[in-house]
Structure 1
Amino acid sequence: MSDKRPNKDQAPDQTIDETERLLFKEAVKDARPLKAKRIEPHIPRPKPIPQQFIRDERQALIDSLSDGYIPAHELESGEELLYLRDGHSPDILSKLRRGHWVVQASIDLHGLIVDEARLYVAEFLSECKKRGVRCVRIVHGKGLGSRNKEPILKHKLRNWLMQKDEVIAYAQAKANDGGSGAVLVLLKAN
């Protein structure tokens, strides 16, 4: 009588008796071996991060603001920044100057070079548009730290804001909000 208990020294297939082995061979005789050495479970790969798309979007924001843009219909009076997009009531500008809208977001451009400021303003306005922010303050400074003591960013900002479709109007901030070193901007409602 044969002992069917496995012996530690025997390989596992030596413990199966001969009839079981023949039955197994008969059952799998038409089977074909798999081509793959190893079958991996399907694990969905994370979606790739579209680095080029992100770079393109950022560049589009930068390109959307040109330093050379000068509209024929700006409402500048001396050094004060004033602008109202065509088709809007002049009351909007006077309400903006009086502080009718609450400032919901603000950025400060102090210490930035022109290219950094342009990108920062473009990204800020884009984010405000997404969040439904209507009134913002942009502190551009008075130019006291610049080479010629002139407000370089103030003049650049004026042109950048006029190019943004979401900007309805802007006006120099009141003295307690930054005065001639800041501008209040009214954005379109979503």
Structure 2
Amino acid sequence: MKQRIPNPIDEGDARLFREAIGEVRPLAPVAPQPATLRPEPRPRMFEADEAAVPGELLDLSFDPAMLEIGEELSYLREGYSPKLLRQLKRGQFSVQDDLDLHQMNMAAAQASIAIFLAEAKHHGLRCVRIVHGKGLRSKAAGPVLKGLTDRVLRRRDDVVAFASARPSMGGTGAVVVLLKG
């Protein structure tokens, strides 16, 4: 089927049309609607996660099975819910800062951990990551910095819990630490 192309409107047709419809009244110009501003994006899951921590810290029971044996580090301070440690292991807390101990000796690593955690507390951070490495070059002594990190964190009052990081965040070569608020 052939498509029909309309004939162009000539001046005579336009004049006949204007005579047929009569006098017209122009409409007053209408101002366009103001553009609605979209709200700024909000990290709602992060906010919900952070808001849930204080309530969970206060409403917790004690589970004696706090330690995990093996390559993974795991610790939960007495008086806190095991649910908190499970959430930490599953990566349900947002890591807000991190410290890398690679290439440090024990004294430098211990001092760095103390300074890092003091700064985290000062800035109100709740969840941080410490990369201690897997100790692959520690030979027979085993992972020196990993053991040091475990001992230091267990002794600190501001540490609620810690666990080896998820594989995508360093696995057994890093630990995620939950701090008191």
Measured against the shorter chain, the TM-score band is 0.5 to 0.7
Q: Is residue 140 from structure 1 mapped to residue 132 from structure 2 by the alignment?
A: yes
Aligned match for 1:86, one of 78, 81, 94: 78
Unaligned runs of 5+ in 1: 1-72
Structure 1 counterpart of 2:167, one-letter code: A
Q: Indicate the residue corresponding to 2:39 in structure 1.
A: none
Q: Equivalences for 1:115-154 in 2 at 5 Å?
A: 115-148=107-140, 150-154=142-146
TM-score by length of 1: 0.59
Structure 1 counterpart of 2:153:
161
Letter in 1 for 2:148: K
Rg larger in 1 or in 2? 1
Q: How many residues align?
A: 118
SS of the equivalent of 2:84 reads helix
1:97 aligns with 2:94: no
Q: Distance in 2 between matches of 1:82 and 1:145?
A: 23
Within 1, Cα distance between the matches of 2:98 and 2:144? 19
Cα gap change, 1:84/1:91 in structure 2, threshold over 3 Å: closer, same or farther?
Answer: same
Residue 187 in 1 paired to residue 172 in 2? no
Q: What letter matches 1:96 in structure 2?
A: L
Distance in 2 (CA, whole Å) between partners of 1:133 and 1:181 is: 22
More displaced 10-residue stretch of structure 1: 129-138 or 147-156: 147-156
RMSD value over aligned CA atoms? 1.7
Partners of 1:122 and 1:76 lie apart in 2 by 24
What is the aligned partner in structure 2 of residue 172 from structure 1?
164
Normalization by structure 2: what TM-score? 0.62
Once the two structures are TM-superposed, the CA of residue 149 in structure 1 deviates from its matched residue by 6.7
C-alpha distance in structure 2 between counterparts of 1:100 and 1:141, whole Å: 22
Structure 2 residues not aligned, in runs of 5+: 1-64
Amino acid at match of 1:81: L
SS at match of 2:140: coil
Q: Which moved more, 1:139-148 or 1:79-88?
A: 139-148
1:90-109: per-residue Cα shift (whole Å, max 9, x none)? 00000001111100000100
CA contact (8 A) 2:66 2:82 kept: no
Identity over aligned pairs, percent: 50
**How far apart, CA to CA, are the structure 1 residues paired with 2:136 and 2:66?**
25
How far 1:74 moved relative to its partner? 6.0
